[in-house]
Amino acid sequence: MKIAIASDHAAVDLKAELTDWLRSQGHEVNDLGPATADRVDYPDYGYKLAAVVAAGDADRGIALCGSGIGISIAVNRNPACRCALVSEPLSAALSREHNDANVIALGARLTGVDMAQACVTAFLSTEFGGGRHSGRVEKLSQPAL
């Protein structure tokens, strides 16, 4: 699977751990940065990740920042992205099954490597359930204002 991953400075270490682990699992990983722990702004990397996923250049995305909140908001500004902030495997799986999430967000200050790997595993291995969820998911990209 093609996976794009991006973070801010607070999550650069978790990003490196997940990138190495995903590649060892046979996935093609596009690390969108940053490369160092120098201070950066999470919206810049959230928007970059969203653009790659929206363009179809990645099957799924993983967004990381200190809490996961800020970068998930940035990713969700792109109407083609459905980013779910998760902290355990059940929410990661439900984000796929019910919401057809194409990006997950994790907080590096709140989630350890083992739990992050469990969340990513659930996210990547769960298919969208379709059916009664399909119409709701369609509405997520076309808000009625």
- Compute the radius of gyration of the chain from its Cα atoms: 14
Other C-beta atoms closer than 10 Å to the C-beta of 77 total 12
Would residue 133 show up in a list of annotated catalytic residues for this protein?
Answer: no
- Binding-site residues, in ranges, read 8-9, 66-70, 99, 109, 132, 136
- Binding-site residues for D-ribulose 5-phosphate, in ranges, read 8-9, 66-70, 99, 109, 132, 136
Please list the rounded mean pLDDT of every run of 10 residues in the chain (145 residues): 98 98 98 97 98 98 98 96 98 97 98 98 93 86 72
Query: pLDDT by residue (tens digit) across 100-133?
Result: 999 999 999 999 999 999 999 999 999 988 788 8
pTM (predicted TM-score): 0.95
Residue of 27, 65, 81, 119 marked active site: 65
Query: pLDDT by residue (tens digit) across 92-101?
Result: 999 999 999 9
Helix (H) or strand (E) holding 3: strand 2-7
Phi, psi of 28 (to 5 degrees): -90, 120
Phi, psi of 27 (to 5 degrees): -85, 150
Identity of the amino acid at 83: C
Q: What is the pLDDT of residue 19?
A: 98
CATH superfamily to which 2-140 belongs = Sugar-phosphate isomerase, RpiB/LacA/LacB (3.40.1400.10)
